[in-house]
């Protein structure tokens, strides 16, 4: 099933709103979700709506939060999300970080006590659209084995970076610290497709291609991904006085409870370091230089980071976003949620 981005956003907004989120907050959350699907990050788009709707309906997200923003220094601040939708809290916190960076050249805003915030490149791009550099990291469920370990400790703990080029071009980097994000496994489940045997392990700690057998994910590049996951956990958990490591709350364990997650936005104003026009010109030159690199065997060309998502976004703009029929059927139905996730283990279906 193919739908326009606008139509998809409206369907998701309506579902989340009916589950209990205010129209304003549902609009922001749906915008982040539609952004993910429009860039081909389907693991963080419509496939998640049933889960969010269930958590909202059962009280595990605060539908009437009392947000608090406190500046703690010239370039630092803490945004207390009061366990609201992570999409909403992270977006509003980035709005504040952008204001600070424009004034002082740099902003580091910690966001504490929030729910899952989805595809976090949405927030780094928020900054880049204002001709700033955006960087964001956030913690997540303990479902990744540390290098050399046989049981999960850290989450997929994603990192995103975005810098502005000329004429609205954005150079976007977005990665989980695992070989693949957990949402990619969910996406494979929804499509009943196998996964590569390098993504995850089963209950015996053995590589698996069956997405329904996954019991832990593998860190990207072994010890390197493991180290990055540790860094993200410290910056978005310990730094904010939040639960960390294997103490981070499970996405599925109890949907009536708040998750108390953390995230950190860092925003840099290039004008405080160099000429802005020249900076953006060189970002564009970087993108072009990478495209002009001689491709290796079996590659048509070299893409700059995030270009594959840029291409998909343009294709979806022309042809519509492809959504699994089962998910589309749920979105257009009168069902608020399917009661599928509560009290499941971290690898719930």
CATH of the domain at 319: 3.30.1370.60
Does the structure show a pLDDT above 90 at 184? no
Assess whether 116 carries a catalytic annotation. Answer: yes
Q: Is 344 inside any structural domain?
A: no
Q: Is 303 inside any structural domain?
A: no
Per-residue confidence (pLDDT) for residue 33, from 0 to 100: 98
Q: Is 349 inside any structural domain?
A: no
Catalytic residue among 42, 44, 87, 116: 116
pLDDT by residue (tens digit) across 231-279?
A: 999 999 999 999 999 999 999 889 999 999 999 999 999 999 999 999 9
pLDDT by residue (tens digit) across 185-238?
A: 878 988 899 999 999 988 888 889 999 999 999 999 999 999 999 999 999 999
Does the structure show a pLDDT above 70 at 161? yes
Question: What is the average pLDDT across 281-297?
Answer: 98
Per-residue confidence (pLDDT) for residue 3, from 0 to 100: 97
pLDDT by residue (tens digit) across 108-150?
A: 999 999 999 999 999 999 999 999 999 999 999 899 999 988 8
Q: Is 194 inside any structural domain?
A: yes
Per-residue confidence (pLDDT) for residue 120, from 0 to 100: 98
Per-residue confidence (pLDDT) for residue 348, from 0 to 100: 58
Does the structure show a pLDDT above 80 at 39? yes
Per-residue confidence (pLDDT) for residue 181, from 0 to 100: 77
Q: Is 159 inside any structural domain?
A: yes
Per-residue confidence (pLDDT) for residue 72, from 0 to 100: 98
- Say how many domains are in the chain: 1
Q: Is 294 inside any structural domain?
A: no
Q: Is 84 inside any structural domain?
A: yes
Distance CA 330, CA 7 (A): 14
Task: Give residue 88's domain range.
Answer: 2-275+310-332
Q: Is 127 inside any structural domain?
A: yes
- Considering only residues 94 and 348, tell me which one the structure prediction assigns the higher pLDDT: 94
């Amino acid at each position: 099933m193919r739908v326009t981005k606008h139509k998809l956003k409206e369907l998701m907004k309506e579902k989340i709103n009916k589950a209990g989120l205010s129209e304003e907050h549902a609009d922001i959350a749906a915008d982040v979700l539609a952004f993910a699907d429009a860039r081909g990050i389907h693991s963080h788009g419509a496939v998640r709506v049933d889960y969010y709707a269930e958590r909202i309906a059962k009280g595990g997200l605060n539908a009437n939060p009392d947000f608090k923003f406190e500046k703690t220094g010239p370039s630092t601040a803490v945004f207390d999300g009061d366990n609201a939708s992570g999409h909403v809290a992270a977006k509003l916190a980035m709005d504040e970080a952008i204001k600070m960076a424009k004034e002082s050249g740099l902003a580091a805003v910690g966001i504490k006590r929030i729910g899952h915030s989805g595809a976090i490149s949405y927030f780094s791009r928020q900054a880049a659209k204002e001709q700033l550099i955006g960087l964001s990291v956030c913690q997540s469920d303990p479902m990744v084995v540390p290098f050399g370990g046989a049981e999960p400790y850290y989450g997929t703990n994603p990192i995103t970076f975005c810098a502005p080029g000329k004429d609205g071009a954005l150079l976007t980097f977005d990665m989980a610290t695992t070989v693949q994000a957990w949402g990619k496994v969910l996406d494979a489940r929804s499509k009943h497709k196998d996964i590569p045997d390098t993504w995850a392990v089963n209950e015996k700690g053995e590589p698996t291609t069956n997405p329904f057998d996954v019991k832990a994910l593998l860190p990207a590049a072994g010890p390197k991904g493991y180290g990055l996951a540790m860094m993200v956990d410290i910056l978005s958990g310990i730094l904010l006085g939040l639960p960390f490591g294997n103490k981070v709350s499970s996405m599925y364990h109890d949907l009536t409870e708040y998750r108390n997650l953390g995230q950190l936005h860092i925003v840099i104003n290039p004008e405080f370091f160099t000429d802005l026009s020249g900076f953006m010109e060189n970002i564009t030159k970087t993108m072009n230089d990478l495209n002009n690199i001689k491709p290796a065997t079996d590659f048509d060309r070299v893409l700059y980071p995030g270009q594959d998502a840029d291409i998909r976004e343009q294709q979806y703009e022309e042809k519509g976003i492809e959504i699994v029929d089962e998910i589309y059927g749920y979105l257009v139905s009168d069902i608020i949620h399917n009661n599928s996730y509560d009290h499941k283990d971290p690898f719930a279906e």
